[in-house]
Structure 1
Amino acid sequence: MDLELSGRVAIVTGASKGIGLAVTRTLLDEGVRVVAASRKTTPELEERGGIDLLHVPVDLMDPDAPGHIVARAVEEFGGLDILVNNAGGPPPGVALPRFSFLAPTDDDWRVMFEFNLFSVVRAVRAAIPPMLERGGGSIINVSSGSARLPTAMNVDYSAAKAGLNNLTKALSEEFAPQGIRVNTVSPGPVRTAWWTEEGGAADIIAAHAGTDRNSVMDQIAPEMMKLSTGRLVEPQEIAEVIVLLASPRSASTTGADFAVDAGFLKEI
């Protein structure tokens, strides 16, 4: 199916690995010109280098970073049609999970909201004017199933993502009449660096449970989170949904939340 994306311009944050890398690759395959924003590039991102890909090195903890990314997209490619706010999860230098509400300090809460909510607010604020100039666009915010299924684990992260869901609904109400659609995609646990890197979630849970990291990812985490499929989600599975939402094929989809979570959310 032709997604009618060829020639459009997209920004993807957190684009150097994981879900962001999968989204970047998929958009490029569809003929989209992509501004890939991340603190550092990676060999995997550089493999897709070419005239349709621009890497912008930024730290989204910097309040000026989102505006800079949008300005580079307009400067390099002439406008903006798609914004994928993918960057999120543990802020730089932070290890998750935390197992109790009492664990994060005030500073931990501020940093978590800065990375997972405020950076999105700034990116959307910068992106809307150039999108309106082109007659509309699509914004996809990557949230989390934990926004709708809060627990004591990672309570600050879940609260930030719940705020992101609320923001998305509000944006969809205001800007749909002007041609800008805004949706969320809510992954469950995804086999990304958050889990797989040394010192990441798999190692932390393994130490807590007295087991090894591979057992956590292959068995303990799927059982603990009651994943219906029995496995973690793959980044490409998230990317496919994001790119469909970016497409004009989803012209009547706005203000929606898509769970791509291996059956993590059980409620109707």
Structure 2
Amino acid sequence: MDLRLSGQVAVVTGASRGIGLAIVSTLLAEGARVVAASRRRSPELEALAGPGLVHVATDLMEPSAPGLVIARAAEEFGGLDILVNNAGGPPPGVTLPRSSFFEAGDDDWRAVFEFNLFSVVRAVRAAIPLMLRRGGGAIVNVSSANGRQPAPMNVDYSAAKAGMNNLTKALSEEFGPQGIRVNTVSPGPVRTPWWTDQGGAADIIAAMAGSDRDSVLDRLAPEMMRLSTGRLVDPQEVADAVVLLASPRSASTTGADFVVDGGLLKTV
């Protein structure tokens, strides 16, 4: 199916690995031109190099950074059609998962909200005027199933994602009549470096459970979270949902939340 993205200009944050890398790759395959923002390049992102891809090395914790990334899209490609706010998770200096509310102090909360919510606010603030000049656009915010399912684990992160969900709904109401669609995709546990890196979530949970990282990734984590599929989500599965929402094929979808969670959420 042609997603009608050829020639469109997209910004993707958190683009060097995991879900973000899969989103960039998929957008390029559909003919879009992409500004990929991340703290550093990765070999996998380098392998996608070409005239339709520009990398911006940036720290989205800096208040000016999201706006500068958006401005780069206008400089390189003349405007902006798609914004994917994918960057999220633990900011530098913060370790997740946490198992209790009392494990996070004020500085931890501020850092998690700065990275997972305020950077999104700033990116959207910069993107909407560019989209309005082109008659509309699509914003996809990568949230989390945790934003819909409160739990003692990672409460600060979950609260930030719940805020993102609320923000998305509000933006869809205000700017839908002006041609800008705003949606969320809420992944469950995705097999990304956040899980698989040395010292990442798999190692932390293995230490808590007296197990090993491979057992956590392949069996224990899916069992603990009661995933209906019995496995962690693949990054490409999330990217496919994101790119579909970014596409004009989803022209009547706005203010929606697409859940890609392996059956984590059990509520109606």
Match of 1:159 in 2: 159
Match of 2:195 in 1: 195
Mapped pair 1:210 → 2:210 = yes
Match of 1:122 in 2: 122
Match of 1:19 in 2: 19
Report the CA distance between 1:77 and its aligned residue: 0.2
Deviations 1:93-117, CA, capped at 9 Å, x for gaps: 3221000001100110000000000
Residue identity matched to 2:239: A
- Corresponding residue SS for 2:102: coil
Q: Check whether the contact 1:95–1:199 (CA below 8 A) recurs between aligned residues.
A: no
Mapped pair 1:184 → 2:184 = yes
Residue identity matched to 1:121: V
- Corresponding residue SS for 2:226: coil
Paired with 1:44 and 1:215, the residues of 2 have a C-alpha distance of 26
Residue identity matched to 1:25: S
Paired with 1:67 and 1:122, the residues of 2 have a C-alpha distance of 7
Match of 2:56 in 1: 56
Match of 2:35 in 1: 35
Residue identity matched to 2:103: A
Report the CA distance between 1:66 and its aligned residue: 0.4
- Corresponding residue SS for 1:10: strand
Deviations 1:110-148, CA, capped at 9 Å, x for gaps: 000000000000000000000000000000000000111
Paired with 1:161 and 1:33, the residues of 2 have a C-alpha distance of 28
Q: How does 1:76-155 map to 2 (within 5 A)?
A: 76-155=76-155
**Aligned Cα root-mean-square deviation (Å):** 0.4
Report the CA distance between 1:5 and its aligned residue: 0.4
Match of 2:68 in 1: 68
Match of 1:253 in 2: 253
- Corresponding residue SS for 2:36: strand
Residue identity matched to 1:208: M
Work out the percentage of aligned pairs sharing the same amino acid: 75
Paired with 2:24 and 2:79, the residues of 1 have a C-alpha distance of 17
Paired with 2:90 and 2:213, the residues of 1 have a C-alpha distance of 18
Paired with 2:249 and 2:93, the residues of 1 have a C-alpha distance of 39
- Corresponding residue SS for 1:102: helix
Report the CA distance between 1:19 and its aligned residue: 0.2
Report the CA distance between 1:92 and its aligned residue: 1.7
Paired with 2:208 and 2:173, the residues of 1 have a C-alpha distance of 43
Q: Which runs of 4+ in 1 moved over 3 A?
A: none
TM score, norm. by length of structure 2 = 1.00
Residue identity matched to 1:24: V
Paired with 2:2 and 2:46, the residues of 1 have a C-alpha distance of 26
Report the CA distance between 1:34 and its aligned residue: 0.1
Residue identity matched to 1:52: G
Mapped pair 1:243 → 2:243 = yes
Match of 2:263 in 1: 263
Mapped pair 1:234 → 2:220 = no
- Corresponding residue SS for 1:40: coil
How many residue pairs were aligned? 268
Paired with 1:100 and 1:247, the residues of 2 have a C-alpha distance of 39
Paired with 2:228 and 2:257, the residues of 1 have a C-alpha distance of 19
Match of 1:44 in 2: 44
